[in-house]
Structure 1
Amino acid sequence: MMSVPATNHRKIIHIDMDAFYASVEQRDDPELRGKPIVVGGLPEGRGGVVATASYEARKFGVRSAMPSKKAQQLCPQAIFVRPRFAVYKDVSRHIREIFSRYTDLIEPLSLDEAFLDVTEDKLGIGSAIEVATQIKQAIFDELQLTASAGVSVNKFVAKIASDINKPNGLKFIGPSSIEAFMEQLPVEKFFGVGKVTAQKMKSMSLHTGADLKRLEEDELVKHFGKSGRFYYRIVRGIDERPVQPHRETKSMGAEDTFAHDLTTFDEMSVELDKIAQTVATRLERYALKGRTITLKVKYSNFKQITRNQSFSAPVGGVGILAQTAKQLLSATNLDEVRVRLLGISVSNFGELSPKNNGPTEQLKLF
C-alpha cells in the first residue's frame, strides 16, 4: 500500500489572507468595521461581480464570483465598495517581504496566498508551526490584518489545512494524520475536482476520500482520465510537487468590464487604448516583452472570443499593443454587437521557432 514516505519530510506552509480585499477596506475605513461589505462591482444597472466579501456578509451566503445583484438580494444591508487594486498590491508586497525573512522558497498563488517551503528556514527556527505563528503575528502587527495558515509535509494538504480554522486560524496536519484526514475529506474539496467531476463521483457513490481509496489506480484512470492517477496518490497523502519560487510567467495582461455595453468601434477603440497603456506599464515594470498579443472580447450575451497575432520579434510598447488589438477587433463581426468586456494580454515570452515568424490569427469560442 502506498503511504507518505517516512523520511525527508518537507515543511510546507500555505498562508491565506482572511477576506483580503474586504479586510483592507475595513482596516482603512473604521466606519466599515463589523459591517457586511462586498468588494467588487456595484449592483446598480447591469451589475458587476463580487471580488470578495467580509465575513459579516459571508454569513448571508455572499461569495466571490457571485453577481453583485445576487449578493444584494442575499444581504440587502451589504455595503458595496469599489476595489482598490493598487492598495492591495502594496499590501501584498509587504506580506511577501515578511515571508522572505524566513525563506526564499515562496510560491505566490495570488495577491493574498502563497506556499512557503521552510524545511530549512533562514532563522534556524526549525519548527514550521512556529514559523507560521511568527508570520501571522508579523502580518497582524505590521499591517493590522489576519491570515490563516496550514502546515503539513506537502502543498495539497497544507492548502486544505489553511481553510479549516478560518479566520485567523492555524492548522497542522502531520505525516501520521494525513491518510485519515484525506479519507474523511469530501471529494469536492480535492484539487481539480469541480462541480461536474464531483457530481460524477457522487453518482458512483464516491463521496469521500475513503470512497476513492477503494478504487484501484486503473479504475480511477478509466473513469477520470489522467487525473485519476493524481487522485490515487493524493488520497494517500502523496504530493511531491515542489514549492516553485520562480514559476515562469506565461502571460501578462489587463481587461475591463464596462458599466454600459459598447456598440461602436470608436468606443471600443478608446477603451483599448486605455487597456494597452495598463498592459504596457505592467510589462515595463517586469522588463518583459512577448511575441503574441491576444485580444479578448466578451459580448452582452456572455459569449466570449479571443483572437491573437504573433510576431517574429518581442513587442511590448503601448503603440503596437493598441494597434494590434484594434486590428484584431476590426476583423471580427461588429454588426449589431454589444460588448461588455475587452482585454489585451501578451504571452510567448520565450523563443519563437522560425516556422512561426509570420503573424497568425486564431479564433477561440467559449
Structure 2
Amino acid sequence: MTENPGGTPAHPLPLCRDCGARAPARRDRCARCGSPRLVAHPELDRLAIAHIDCDAFFAAIEKRDNPQLRDLPVIVGGGRRGVVSTCCYIARIHGVRSAMPMFKALEACPDAVVIKPNLAKYSEVGRQVRERMLALTPLVEPVSIDEAFLDLTGTQRLHRASPAETLAAFARALEADLGISASIGLAPNKFLAKIASDLDKPRGFSVIGAAEARAFLAERPVGIIWGIGKVFQAKLAADGIRTIGQLQAMDPTDLLRRYGALGQRLARLATGADDRPVSPDRGAKSISAETTFDTDIAGLDRLRPILRELSEKVSQRLKRAGLGGRTVTLKLKTADFRILTRSRQLADPTQLADRIFRAGDDLLGPEADGRRFRLIGIGVGELADAGSADPGDLLDAGAGRRARAEQAMDKVRDRFGTEAVELGLVHASRARRTPGRPDEA
C-alpha cells in the first residue's frame, strides 16, 4: 500500500521523499542521503491522481511565524464560547479536534495556547499554495483553502519526472519556502487519493493502487466513504453493515433497492471505483456568514438585527464574486449544541441583502420561540451568474424601491467604507447585542 521500501526488481525503484533519489534501498533507507522516508509501490510511476492536504494549516502558519510556539499545543479558534478552527498535532494528542467546542478543547488540553484566527494571513498562504499547485498542472480542483485534488496525467514531459516525483518535490519546496507541510495521497482516482492522504499525517505520502483497492477497503469502516455521515452510518449499522467489505459482498441491485441512488454510489465506491474527473471549475457551492455568541441569547427582537447584519455580509460577498443564489438557508445552534437548518427556495437568484434577510427572517420566526441559541448563520446556495439575479418583482411593489436603495448604499460604502451607511436595525444590533465572534464562512 505505502511506505514499503522493500520490493522486487520488477517494481519501480523506491522514491526518497527527502532528496528525490530513485535507487534500491539500503536497510530500509535511502542509498543517497540515508533518510528512512521512502515510498515504494508497484504502481508508483503509473498513478497520477493526487489529493494534497496541508497539515494543521492555520496552526502550522502560527507556529511558523512564532517559533516559540513550536513545541507547545496550539489551538486556533474563537473565544471560550467558540469552536476550534484547527489545532496542531500536539493538541490532537490530548484529544482536541477541529469543530470541538472551545470549552471542551481547553478541558482536554488546559495548557494550550489559543490564537484568534487571522483569515487574511491564512488566505494569502493558501493562495501561494494554490499557485504552486497550478504550476504542476492546470487540473487543480480546490476542496478548501488548504487542500485540493490534482490530475498530473501527461505532465511527465513537462516536469521531466513522474507524478510521484513531482509531488515529492512539491512537498519539499512547501516546507523549504513556505514553512508548512502537507500530506499527499496518490491513487488512480479521487476517492482513493483522499483516503490515502489521511493515512500517514503529518508529512505523509501514501499510495493506494488499483490492484489492491478492493482488499485495502474491505476492512475499513463505511464511515470513510464520502457522504456517509453519522446518521446514515447508524442506519447502515442497524442493517448490520459496518465495514466496506460487507458492502462489497452485497448485490448492487439490493443496495439500490434499499438506499436508492446513494446505495448505487456505495456499490461503486466499495470496490474503489470512482470515475469523477478532477474539475478545476468546481467553484463554491454556497456563500454564508455566521457568528457564535459569548452568551446564549433568545428572542426574535435580539436575533433579527444580527441576522440582518449577517445577510449584508453574505450580500457583499455575492456581489464581489459576481454571483447570486436561489436557496437561502438559516442555521441555528441551540444551547445544547443541536444544529437546526431551515431553507427556502426563491423564485429567482438574488444577491440583495434585503431579499436574503426577508427569507431568513421568515425562517427564523417559528424557531425564535423562547429557546436560547449560541450561534446564528445565513447562507445562499444554488449559485448562479449575477446576470440572472434579482429581476423585477411584479408581486412586491416595494421590491424595486428597496433594491435601488441598496444599490445606492453600496455605492456609498464602496467610496467611504462598509460602515459609512448602516440600517437602523444593524446599528441597533451592534449597539446592544451580546458580543459574538464571526466564524469562518
When normalised by structure 2's length, the TM-score is: 0.69
- Distance in 1 (CA, whole Å) between partners of 2:271 and 2:68 is 47
Look up the SS of the partner of 2:191 in the other structure: helix
Q: CA 1:348 to 1:173, structure 2 compared with 1: closer, same or farther past 3 Å?
A: closer
Distance 1:235 1:357 in 2: 51
Q: How big is the shift at 1:28? A: 1.9
Residue 127, structure 1, aligned to residue 152, structure 2: no
Mapped contact 1:311–1:357 kept (Cα < 8 A): no
CA distance in 2, matches of 1:326, 1:200: 32
C-alpha displacement at 1:110, in angstroms? 1.2
Residue 344 (structure 1) aligned to one of 378, 383, 400: 378
SS in 2 for 1:176: coil
The question of 1:17 aligning with 2:54 is answered yes
- Count of matched residue positions in the alignment of Structure 1 and Structure 2: 346
Secondary structure of 1:211's match? helix
Gapped regions of structure 2 (runs ≥ 5): 1-42, 397-441
Q: Tell me the equivalent position of 2:223.
A: 188
Alpha-carbon distance in structure 1 between the residues aligned to 2:362 and 2:369: 15
User: Which runs of 5 or more structure 1 residues have no equivalent in the other structure?
Assistant: 1-5, 360-366
Q: Are 2:79 and 1:42 aligned?
A: yes
- Match of residue 75 from structure 1: 109
Q: Tell me by how many angstroms 1:204 deviates.
A: 5.7
SS of match in other structure, 1:123: helix
Distance change (3 Å), C-alpha of 1:129 and 1:310: same
Q: Distance in 2 between matches of 1:208 and 1:309?
A: 37
Note the C-alpha offset of 1:216. 1.9
Q: Secondary structure at the match of 2:79?
A: coil
Q: Which amino acid aligns with 1:136?
A: A
Q: Which amino acid aligns with 2:274?
A: D
Q: Aligned to 1:130, what secondary structure does the other structure show?
A: helix
Note the C-alpha offset of 1:223.
Answer: 4.1
Within the candidate set 166, 184, 193, 2:201 is matched to: 166
Tell me whether 143-152 or 181-190 shows the greater mean CA deviation: 181-190
Q: For residues 109-120 of structure 1, what are the structure 2 equivalents within 5 Å?
A: 109-120=143-154
Task: Kindly state the Cα deviation for residue 330 of structure 1 after the two structures are TM-superposed.
Answer: 7.6
Q: Deviation at 1:252?
A: 1.2
Matched residue, 2:346:
310
1:149 aligns with: 184
1:271 Cα deviation after fit: 2.8
For the structure 1 residues 188 and 332, does the alpha-carbon distance in structure 2 shift closer, same or farther, using more than 3 Å as the test? closer
**Which has the larger displacement, 286-295 or 161-170?**
286-295
Deviation at 1:173, TM superposition (A): 1.9
State how far apart, in whole Å, the 2-side matches of 1:114 and 1:357 are. Answer: 44
> Identity, % of aligned pairs?
38
Q: Post-superposition shift, 1:167?
A: 0.4
1:263/1:338 contact within 8 Å kept = yes
1:92-111 map, 5 Å = 92-111=126-145
Relative distance call for 1:326 and 1:101 in structure 2 (3 A) is: closer
Larger radius of gyration between Structure 1 and Structure 2: 2
AA aligned to 2:210 is P
- Deviation, 1:153, is 0.7
Partner Cα distance (1:65, 1:339) in 2: 17
> Which amino acid counterpart does residue 64 of structure 1 have in structure 2?
S
Give me the whole-angstrom Cα distance separating, in 1, the residues matched to 2:343 and 2:275.
37
* 2:264 match: 229
**Are 2:307 and 1:256 aligned?**
no
Q: CA deviation at 1:236?
A: 2.0
Q: Distance in 2 between matches of 1:120 and 1:234?
A: 25
Give the C-alpha shift of residue 90 in structure 1.
Answer: 1.6
Q: Work out the CA distance in 2 between the residues paired with 1:10 and 1:20.
A: 26
TM-score by length of 1: 0.81
AA in 1 matched with 2:342:
T
| Secondary structure at the counterpart of residue 34 of structure 1 | coil
- Indicate if the aligned counterparts of 1:182 and 1:237 stay in contact, CA closer than 8 A: yes
State the shift of 1:168 in Å. Answer: 0.4
Q: Which residue of 2 aligns with 1:246?
A: 281
Cα offsets for 1:174-195 (capped at 9, x unmatched)? 2223233222333332333333
Question: Which residue pairs with 2:173 in the alignment?
Answer: 138
Check conservation: 2:290, 2:376, Cα contact below 8 A: yes
Give per-residue Cα distances to partners, 1:300-348, cap 9 Å, x unaligned.
4546353547365x54355x36753685378546564534322232334
Deviates more, 1:229-238 or 1:111-120: 229-238
**RMSD, aligned CA:** 3.2
8 A Cα contact 2:56 2:89, kept in partner: yes
For residues 243-275 of structure 1, the C-alpha deviation after alignment (integer angstroms, 9 at most, x for no partner) is 111115432121111112334555435434542
Q: Amino acid of the residue matched to residue 133 of structure 2?
A: F
SS of residue matched to 2:323: coil
CA contact (8 A) 1:325 1:344 kept: no
State the SS of the aligned residue for 2:154.
Answer: coil
Decide whether the 8 Å contact of 1:311 with 1:358 is kept in 2: no
> CA separation in 2, counterparts of 1:344 and 1:79?
30
Measured against aligned partners, the alpha-carbon deviations of 1:210-235 in whole angstroms (never above 9, x if no partner) come to 33322221233344433232222222
